[in-house]
Amino acid sequence: MKKILLTGDRPTGKLHLGHYAGSLKNRVKMQDDYETFIMVADVQALTDNYDNPQKVRDNVFEVVADNLAVGIDPEKVTYFIQSQIPQIAELTVFFSNMVTVSELQRNPTVKTEIGQKGHLFKDGNVTFGFLGYPVSQTADISFLKAEVVPVGEDQMPVLEQANRILKKFNRYYGKTFPEIKGVVGEIARLAGLDGRKMSKSLGNAIYISDSEEEVAKKIRKAKTDSENKLYYDLEKKPEISNLMEYYKLATGKSFEEIEEEFKDITYYIEFKEKLTEELNNFLKPFRERRKKYEENPQLVWDILERGRKKVLERAEKNMAEIKERMKIDY
Ligand code: TRP
């Protein structure tokens, strides 16, 4: 029997190349070797977007379309929406006994995110829901007894927390859940066009769904330096090194090969033009696949409905066992 792989995306915006490098690429690669589940984390998205439910609603389609676009095949993989599986919420409550408030407050991912969401959590005054999202994420993964979780590098502390929760649960109630293993992409962290973390909120992202013109415009405007010589040096030339990362992602070439290819250029523009072309070649099959779903969104909703039914059945079965272990199987 295949091991179970589960991962999720918060539906708060379209997915970009940072998501691709960190996680989506691994999902595509791993979908044949694992029984794969892709969850739309709408409940988690609401923990820091409770003031904007329409945004979360609108992006459910977008994140599923992006996963489909990169080639995560709905014939092999199960797609579902977090809020449609009540057992996840139930398990979150059970898991909340397995973690202290101060452990969550010390979690590096949670801490960073609270800092970034200053407008919601004034003076560090975080909601119960947001502070607890690693607990609910543990439930997302473990209600299906998933073992393999492709995520962006920033999520690793959340998965370490998950394992502490599972270990405690197994100790008190008997071995129920397998340990989980986070899998991070080869390019663990792809920076944005300005060298900071690629992020929707920073306006520095190239999206899976960007048009040829959008890509061309973004690359044309990308910052460089005044040397007009192409080599990889993240300290000295962060902007150029970063654009070289994009080139590497699009072509699969090494930095040495890229340096060799552009050793005779006079101006960076020559590199930028080629980069635009390669990025657009790379994104072309994604755009084509995505178009089918944009033209017929019902296809996406049908995939999610099929997933809901399948996952619900599994959730009921696993929950019966969990409750038995916890002696609440009346
Ligand atoms: N927190 C994850 C992120 O921001 C999204 C997520 C929610 C997730 N539930 C999950 C990832 C379960 C993996 C497994 O990227």
- The mean pLDDT of the chain is 95
Burial of 135 (0-12, 13-18, 19+ CB in 10 A): buried
pLDDT reading at 185 higher than 90: no
The string of pLDDT tens digits covering residues 142-162 is: 999 999 999 988 899 999 999
High-pLDDT (> 90) share of the chain, %: 86
**What does the pLDDT read at residue 118?**
85
High-pLDDT (> 70) share of the chain, %: 100
* Any atom of ligand 1 within 6 Å of the Cβ of 151: yes
Q: 56, 79, 140: which to mutate for ligand 1, most atoms within 8 A of CB?
A: 140
Q: 4, 5, 10: which to mutate for ligand 1, most atoms within 8 A of CB?
A: 10
Given a contact cutoff of 8 angstroms between Cβ atoms, the answer to whether 40 and 46 are in contact is no
The string of pLDDT tens digits covering residues 56-113 is: 999 999 999 999 999 999 999 999 999 999 999 999 999 999 999 999 999 999 999 9
Q: Which atom of ligand 1 is nearest to the CA of 137?
A: 9
**What does the pLDDT read at residue 203?**
87
Domain with CATH 3.40.50.620 in the chain: 4-190+297-325
Domain with CATH 1.10.240.10 in the chain: 212-291
pTM of the predicted model, to two decimals? Answer: 0.95
Per-residue tokens: 62: 């977008």
pLDDT-derived band at 200 (thresholds 50, 70, 90) equals: confident
Average pLDDT over residues 225-249: 92
pLDDT reading at 188 higher than 70: no
The string of pLDDT tens digits covering residues 262-320 is: 999 999 999 999 999 999 999 999 999 999 999 999 999 999 999 999 999 999 999 99
Tell me which of 3.40.50.300, 3.40.50.620, 3.30.1330.200, 3.30.420.40 is the CATH number of domain 4-190+297-325: 3.40.50.620
Fold of 212-291: Tyrosyl-Transfer RNA Synthetase (1.10.240)
How crowded is residue 311: how many other Cβ atoms within 10 Å of its Cβ?
24
Distance separating alpha carbons of residues 158 and 155, to the nearest angstrom: 5
Per-residue tokens: 112: 């960073």
